[in-house]
Chain A
């Protein structure tokens, strides 16, 4: 398989980024928009071509999808330990290429309408291209260090784009929060990488993931605190992934990240960057599965299930539509983690893995659609809050229909995409752990409820008095909506189990009708409840909120997690740890240095009189020295 053109996929956005970044002010906004879209269009075409070539022409040998690697040594440490740069082609990376390029292209097109007239139009497209480049690099990485480099790059682009409205204080704070929280998680990732490198002697995915390889067969050779060191390494790597994928308890940055422009939320905080954590676990899946009988994988499953439930509960009470979607994203990411966590490896056992990747794919489509739809609404009413919306279906028919499709898809109503992927996840969980299955079904119901709560709140319900009459968005914004709606309808019919599986061999997946029926019924109950509560204006919801009282307040304040983090950082870390250390630094460390400096100054002040500037004095000192040396050499050194 020829890999040369795949290299172009990440490089084109990089070139676009440099072009737009360097000639920022000198390019007319209209042109820079076209440059950005065109670059991504080429990347998308190449990605689709690569996917076609891989999945249908060259990829399969003897019924198993092969891995193609093209790399060069970048840094050489020893014969076995070196850091490479290259591209890694296997089913999940090709699938991610398609997801990233499709969503990114749609967001680029959408941004041409959404960001119209913004001062930093060119800058915005430059950052989007930088992000696309980094994300492509991440999915194509051949080893842990390369993925780490691009991992940080997507973090930086996310930071830049969240803080895009840098004159707004809350946006700046949110950008910093996102960067610091994920950076903190990445510390775990880095330590995990170093542990892997130290104990297995390689960073290479191919070598690490080989089920017959050294790393997997000899996991028990070194242990630390009752677990294999490699398990510790995998847990630490998962912490990095949890930070990026906003898993509990590192989720606090994601809702705040909604301060960024809505296309950014759609691209980065819904469809692509936040699934990097899921992708990372999937990338190292054989290690997670085989080492210590999947101990680390169980942690992944429980963290995922808890995050899914936790976020879904919070999402019910939020009033900012983008925040509802953010918590929904977190909840769906929890689903993906859960599915990975309960997956096996061979054949049909690997259903969870396939379901997770399938859900990643469909979720990217319908969640990007939800965000873009929300962006279209925000564009029309200039507010993020549910109270400023209502009855918009008359004014924005296309947004209404596409949003409804996405909401049905995420609620798992057949035949939309979410139904298929969610069903596979629930089947996989059911086969593994009944408790987690009930959590999953409950979350599915909650998902349908909160999603239709905002759907009815936006498009139905009481009509708010609008200052300007809301109008449908321009074609550049509705085209991506329609395209993604199409994907949300058709995406579920892709036979994913033929293409993306843990052992790469593929298997026959069937719908499990009883379980599917349960999930659909629960989803429909959620929708009906939302319909009862929010379709018509009624005080039912308020009465219920009052009934739950403090519980409602807790959820609406996100279980006070932000407050807890603030308490820990400000009251404990800053006051008890950082302040004494700062005192020590300022007084002891700096004090020592100042003492040395001051005493030097004082001494030189005292002895500067010796530099009289008179040659005679110097001559005297010289002569005295000569005489003393003469005496020493002639009389004292004689014997």
Chain B
């Protein structure tokens, strides 16, 4: 609970964050940028968890705990994604999306 700031303002911020992530995910051509965008989307949802927990159910902790859980999973997932990208780079010397289209159709 931050005095003077209502839940709507915070949710607006997370929504903006979310859509920035979506926009980045759709438009970026570089795998690293796409990964960062995915992280933005994830973080937007994590913040949502915390905000809703704090503003609507102040005497409970589930939302906070869940966000910690998501952060842990996200870390693992990021590590996995980065390792895939590094392997890809070793194979084809590129991390551009357009270079890994061979399995289309």
Residues of A that sit less than 8 Å from B by CB: 608, 611-614, 616, 619-620, 623
Contacts and interface: CB of A to CB of B under 8 A. Distances in A.
B26 A613 contact: no
Given A616-B34, A616-B97, A611 B26 contact: no
Contacts of B11: none
B42 interface: no
B101 interface: yes
9 contacts: A611-B105, A612-B104, A613-B101, A613-B104, A614-B97, A616-B27, A616-B28, A619-B22, A623-B22
A612 B105 CA distance: 7
B12 to A, nearest CB: 16
B104 A619 contact: no
Contacts of B2: none
Interface of B: 22, 25-28, 34, 97, 101, 103-105
B47 to A, nearest CB: 20
Contacts of A620: 26
B25 A619 contact: yes
Contacts of A619: 22, 25-26
How would you classify the secondary structure of chain A's contact residues: helix, strand, loop or mixed?
helix
Nearest to B103: A613
Nearest to A613: B104
Contacts of A614: 97, 101
The 6 closest A-B pairs by CB, nearest first: A613-B104, A620-B26, A616-B26, A623-B22, A619-B26, A619-B25
A619 B34 CA distance: 12
A614 B34 CA distance: 12
A613 B105 CA distance: 7
A623 B25 CA distance: 11
Nearest to A614: B97
A549 B92 CA distance: 97
Nearest to A616: B26
Nearest to B27: A616
Contacts of A616: 25-28, 34, 97
Contacts of B104: 611-613
A55 B95 CA distance: 99
B105 A623 contact: no
Contacts of A613: 101, 103-105
A608 B104 CA distance: 11
A623 B103 contact: no
Contact of B26 (A608, A612, A623): A623
Nearest to A620: B26
Contacts of B103: 613
Contacts of A608: 105
A78 B66 CA distance: 67
Given A613-B101, A613-B103, A613-B105, 19 more contacts: A608-B105, A611-B104, A611-B105, A612-B104, A613-B104, A614-B97, A614-B101, A616-B25, A616-B26, A616-B27, A616-B28, A616-B34, A616-B97, A619-B22, A619-B25, A619-B26, A620-B26, A623-B22, A623-B26
A620 B37 CA distance: 14
A135 to B, nearest CB: 63
Contacts of A612: 104
A108 B72 CA distance: 88
Nearest to B38: A619
A616 B30 CA distance: 11
Nearest to B25: A619
Contacts of B105: 608, 611, 613
A620 B27 CA distance: 9
Nearest to A621: B26
B24 to A, nearest CB: 10
A613 B101 CA distance: 7
A613 B98 CA distance: 11
A611 to B, nearest CB: 7
Contacts of A623: 22, 26
B35 to A, nearest CB: 12
Contacts of B28: 616
A602 to B, nearest CB: 17
Nearest to A617: B26
Contacts of B26: 616, 619-620, 623
Nearest to A618: B26
Contacts of B101: 613-614
Contacts of B27: 616
A620 B105 CA distance: 18
B104 to A, nearest CB: 3
A610 to B, nearest CB: 11
B100 to A, nearest CB: 9
Of the listed residues B26, B28, B101, B104, the one surrounded by the most CB atoms of chain A closer than 10 A to its CB is B26
Nearest to B23: A623
A427 B105 CA distance: 88
A613 B104 CA distance: 5
A527 B26 CA distance: 107
Nearest to B98: A614
A612 B103 CA distance: 10
A590 to B, nearest CB: 30
A556 B61 CA distance: 110
